[in-house]
Amino acid sequence: MNILLFGPVTAQLPLSLQNLVVENVAVGECASRPSASAAQLQGPGNPSNLNSNRPVCYFTPPNRTVCFRGIETKRFQAGGKFNLTRWLVLCDWPLKTFDPFILSRLVPRIERLALTGHLLQRLVHDFPALPYLRMVNITGTRLNHTAVSAFYELERLQVLNLRGNELEQIQPYRFRSGHVEVYLQGNLWNCTNDMIWLLKEQSRQYVDKPTLVCKDWKYTGRPVLTAMEYKRVVRESCLHEEIWNCSCHVSYLRLSDNGLSFHPMIMVNCSDRGFYQLPQYLPGNTTVLHIARNKLQTVDSLTTNEHYQSVQDIYLDENRITTIDILEDTIWLDNFRILSLRGNRLNRIRVYSVEHAIERNPGVGKLYLSNNPWRCGCRFAIRFQRFLRKHESLVADSRNITCYFINDDDGRKQYLPVLTVTPNDICRPSEHNTAAFYNTLSIIFATLIVLIFTKLAYDYYHYRKYGKLPWLIMKMP
């Protein structure tokens, strides 16, 4: 029975495969078909047609067979010249899977195999023992996984070319032969996976490993070996006694300004680890710290510990922090990106200090303040409300922030959304009147200052134009 193809007739190989250093017969053989071979295929003894979707194979003396859209198994089983095949090229493979066992059945003396086809995704089994097979060339497919033992039985294997597929991760292959050259360039390497073993591999078996490039969203365009080296360093740094029970990851590799090196951006996760204070050590270039659900009471280390200079995002949710006043007028507050303080014990903050820091900080991203016991003091609540309304897009959970006051009738706490609270809700009459008095006084003083500056400007203009001093000064003794 023939293996049929339901895809296009002409092979569609990726451009990146046109310049492979390793011999890749599939590229040359599958991109075009010799006219002589076409004539043979149209002969009276062969009803196959180049324009059909049926498998087509042709034999080229002394020992090469090229097949399109599958394998004409009947022709191989019938014997004849196809029994001489030592070099098999399979173009436009028609299925999502390829079973290497078909080779031992049809071409047991095969020495070289080339396989391509944009439908192929998986090898059904490991390669069987093919005692003469020394070169396997699988390129231009969607192959996304291979077992470590996939080529183990090929005792004479010399070259394994897996370039230009969709492999995302591999573990070191097992080979019977100690002299196999492996080529892997052009795959979709996902560098969030662990391939640190490539750094330890010293046999030079993986010939083109310095050219491998990450394709995942986090490390895209970065060399695989560079990403793995930073992952190794971070993994070792995370063994420090201060953070041995935390997890550390390279979240991004930023290209330096001169384009010659990379700077890692590291994320450390110490959530749910029982910390009573911020750890005194962090790996260099730590930019994100998760330390939620611990027992922290202060954030002093953000201002005093050099390990926190590069920390831009910090998640301090569900701790025991009562104040962040120590951050006032600090470099850290002027440069943070995300500060999450949900679920702590904050009842007041210096609103003006936080607001000034936000205005000075061009990279500020989000601030989270909900689920804290904010006190609805008359003056604080009104200032806090103005701050939240002004920076509602910045304080991501502003609509969920509530404050409380003690109800005079029953002495119970009553909670109100800060964004909708009014002076009548939280201010006693005396407090309300005092606040109104100070607000009126502030308006009067501001008006007087404007008038004074206006008068000074007028007098200056009058003096410059007419050379006369103001009337009041003329009357002074």
* Band of residue 2 on the pLDDT scale cut at 50, 70, 90: very low
What pLDDT sits at residue 153?
94
Residue 23 has pLDDT above 80, yes or no: no
Residue 32 has pLDDT above 90, yes or no: no
Q: What is the per-residue pLDDT across 374-417, written as a single tens digit (0 to 9) for each?
A: 999 888 999 999 999 999 999 999 999 999 988 777 778 888 99
Residue 413 is classified by DSSP as E
Residue 207, in any domain of the structure: no
Residue 134, in any domain of the structure: yes
* Residue 178 and residue 57 share a domain: yes
0.85 exceeded by pTM: no
* Residue 174 and residue 88 share a domain: yes
Look at the alpha carbons of 241, 244, 245, 249 in this order and tell me if their dihedral is positive or negative: positive
Question: Which of 174, 222, 232, 161 minimizes the C-alpha distance to 200?
Answer: 232
Residue 428, in any domain of the structure: no
Could you tell me where the DSSP H helices lie in 116-255? Answer: 197-200, 224-237
**Which phi and psi (to 5°) does residue 107 adopt?**
-135, 65
* Residue 331 and residue 439 share a domain: no
Distance (Å, rounded) from C-alpha 72 to C-alpha 90? 11
Residue 301, in any domain of the structure: yes
Residue 82 is classified by DSSP as G
Look up the domain containing 453 and give its range: 434-474
* Residue 293 and residue 184 share a domain: no
CATH assignment of the domain containing 338: 3.80.10.10
* Residue 182 and residue 64 share a domain: yes
Residue 390, in any domain of the structure: no
Last residue of a domain, one of 334, 357, 372: 372
* Residue 155 and residue 85 share a domain: yes
Distance (Å, rounded) from C-alpha 289 to C-alpha 277? 13
Q: What is the per-residue pLDDT across 233-269, written as a single tens digit (0 to 9) for each?
A: 999 999 999 999 999 999 888 887 777 788 889 999 9
Tokens, residue 80? 């004849």
Distance (Å, rounded) from C-alpha 405 to C-alpha 255? 51
Which residue's structure tokens are 């110490």? Answer: 270
* Residue 349 and residue 249 share a domain: yes
Last residue of a domain, one of 338, 372, 406: 372
* Residue 153 and residue 89 share a domain: yes
Q: What is the per-residue pLDDT across 261-293, written as a single tens digit (0 to 9) for each?
A: 888 899 999 999 999 999 999 998 999 999 999
Give the DSSP per-residue string, 16-41.
GGGG-SS--HHHHHHH---HHHHHHH
pLDDT above 90 covers a percentage of the chain that reads: 58
Q: What is the per-residue pLDDT across 169-223, written as a single tens digit (0 to 9) for each?
A: 999 999 988 789 999 999 999 999 999 999 988 778 999 999 999 999 888 889 9
What pLDDT sits at residue 468?
66
What pLDDT sits at residue 252?
86
Distance (Å, rounded) from C-alpha 192 to C-alpha 55? 40
* Residue 184 and residue 99 share a domain: yes
